[in-house]
Amino acid sequence: MSTITNIRQTASDDLGEDNGSSIYERLRDDIIHGRVKANERLKVAELASRMGTSTNPVREALQQLRGEGFVIMTPNRGARVRPIGEEFVRDICEIEVLIEPALTRWFVGIATQADIDELERLQAEIEALNFGDEMKHSTLDLQFHRLMYDRHYNRHAVDLWMRHRQILRAISRGFPTSLSRQSNVLDEHRELIACIKAQDAEGASRAIGRHVDGSGRHIIERMRVSRYAQPVES
């Protein structure tokens, strides 16, 4: 099986929330969507009872959520929910602005004509869809970026990118993409492909940096608008 075909078949499998609902995914979604409040205590026994499982999977899920910054653990006080706000997204995006340009720069050096053809095919699908289905767009966009990153030798960097991708996808799921951001995404993808075709590693690195920064700023803006739109409690 070719690398490109494998990427197509496995891309959706790596988006955990699309394939079953593990304890980790359920807890993460509860935190992101406010069903579990900021600073709320997360008691292992209560969570296990509510989710119909033993305590071990809950402990493992809390450790994973801690590693991703969703949960704070304090000695002798247990786990509590970290507030999910603009600063949380900002921190993730600042890391991604460092990771993704490096991954992209490396990809330009190994990209084949088959890779470029596949990027153009995915881009054509993305443009034809034109954000008509946000979930499908997200899947195609994931395939587009995975094609560039999946063969990189630094698996820690790729795994971190993937975790951040899932987190940002889950956070932004409730926010529509603005028309201006839709246009920018398409333009940024086109610029990136052009740089890869020209074997311009530095240009591609700058293009992906702007792409990541723009996406982060858009999510933060949507979060801010949503927060301000909430009614003030009397």
pLDDT digits (tens, 9 = 90+) for 108-120: 999 999 999 999 9
d(CA 5, CA 36): 39
pLDDT at 3: 42
Q: Is the pLDDT of residue 125 over 60?
A: yes
Higher pLDDT, 115 or 166: 115
Asked if residues 214 and 100 have their Cβ atoms less than 8 Å apart, the reply is no
Q: Give backbone dihedrals phi and psi of 36, rounded to 5 degrees, phi first.
A: -115, 125
Range with the largest mean pLDDT of 20-24, 81-85, 104-108: 104-108
d(CA 212, CA 111): 21
Go through the domains of the chain in sequence order and give each one's CATH number: 16-81 (1.10.10.10), 85-229 (1.20.120.530)
Mean pLDDT of 188-208: 98
Mean pLDDT of 149-164: 94
d(CA 28, CA 16): 11
User: SS3 of 71, please?
Assistant: strand
pLDDT at 76: 77
Q: Is the pLDDT of residue 11 over 70?
A: no
pLDDT at 6: 44
Query: Mean pLDDT lowest for which of 17-31, 80-94, 143-157, 203-217?
Result: 17-31
65: amino acid identity, one letter = L
Q: Is the pLDDT of residue 139 over 60?
A: yes
Tokens for 175, please give them. Answer: 């926010």
Mean pLDDT of 68-91: 86
pLDDT band with cut points at 50, 70 and 90 for residue 199: very high
Mean pLDDT of 141-150: 97
Q: Is the pLDDT of residue 233 over 60?
A: no
Higher pLDDT, 32 or 47: 47
Q: Is the pLDDT of residue 32 over 80?
A: no
pLDDT at 171: 82
pLDDT at 12: 39
